[in-house]
Amino acid sequence: MKTNYEIRYAAHPEDSKSYDTTRIRRDFLIEKIFVPNEVNMVYSMYDRMVVGGALPVGEVLTLEAIDPLKAPFFLTRREMGIYNVGGPGIVKAGDAEFELDYKEALYLGSGDREVTFESKDAAHPAKFYFNSLTAHRNYPDRKVTKADAVVAEMGSLEGSNHRNINKMLVNQVLPTCQLQMGMTELAPGSVWNTMPAHVHSRRMEAYFYFEIPEDHAICHFMGEVGETRHVWMKGDQAVLSPEWSIHSAAATHNYTFIWGMGGENLDYGDQDFSLITDLK
């Protein structure tokens, strides 16, 4: 196995206005998440969130404590949320073992223990996408399925944004320190997410897009309300959203995305909305 990581530094919104396409993609887009028998991650200076993925194909992959953590184990001072977006898989955390099927999630609290990822069938490997944030105390590990989620049905087909927001690793379902994660599924014929756009200056966010056919693409919108930018993305890619940035998207096909937030509060509804007509 191989572990790869990179550090992404935070940007001032005034500075980001001058970024060209290459710089925007370099600083915010995470293109390589799943590579066979690798664990890939980005250590972001936005609330020190780590965004990454593991794709075990005939091997057991270990979640290694990368150097920026300066810790004996990855979870020594961190909590983690994991979603399986591939075939059936197993996550082991210390003496505990969790089986995760497609679109099932796992919360791991902080504490010194080894974490490993493996697939049940190498021909249909599991794909483990994860977000991790610093944690000031330990909360119990717990598997969460869509049956456990707080589901909000929003939007309409007429508005091209009929969707189900599955709030899964959130404080209405289980206790966490900072981490809030969920999964939004768009209905066929709908392409817009998170519209009207909003920001929440108390929290940053990361979006991971999947269930996008190979010959289709998604356009993620970011930036300030009066100075937006866009990032064209493919499936199985993620994008960082600073606390000052909107985060919305439209695609050429319906899709699913996993959102993860970290910051100073756990209130999912703590958002500052903008009118659609104010976007520039």
Residue 198 annotated as binding site: yes
Residue with tokens 């990368």: 66
220 in a known ligand binding site: no
Q: Are 131 and 260 in contact (CB under 8 A)?
A: yes
Contacts 24+ apart (CB under 8 A), 186-189: 186/161, 186/162, 186/254, 186/255, 186/256, 187/157, 187/162, 187/163, 187/254, 188/254, 189/157, 189/160, 189/162, 189/254
Reported as a single tens digit per residue, the pLDDT across 45-57 is 999 999 999 999 9
- 119 vs 125: CA distance, rounded Å: 5
DSSP string covering 108-168, please?
E-SSS--EEEEES-TTS---EEEEEEE-SS----EEE-GGGSEEEEE--TTTT--EEEEEE
Q: What is the pLDDT of residue 273?
A: 75
Give me the long-range contacts of 72-76 (CB less than 8 A, separation at least 24).
Answer: 72/112, 73/111, 73/112, 73/113, 73/114, 73/115, 74/115, 74/132, 75/108, 75/109, 75/110, 75/111, 75/112, 75/113, 75/115, 75/132, 76/110, 76/111, 76/112
> What is the predicted pLDDT for the residue at 202?
86
- pLDDT at position 57 is 98
pLDDT above 90: percentage of residues in the chain? 90
Tell me, what amino acid is at 192? W
pLDDT of residue 198: 83
Q: What is the pLDDT of residue 275?
A: 83
Give the whole-angstrom CA distance, residue 115 versus residue 52. 14
Low-confidence ranges of the chain (pLDDT < 70): none
- For residue 185, say whether it is annotated as part of any ligand binding site: no
* Identity at 218, one-letter amino acid code: I
CATH class, range 12-273:
mainly beta
230 annotated as belonging to a binding site for a ligand: no
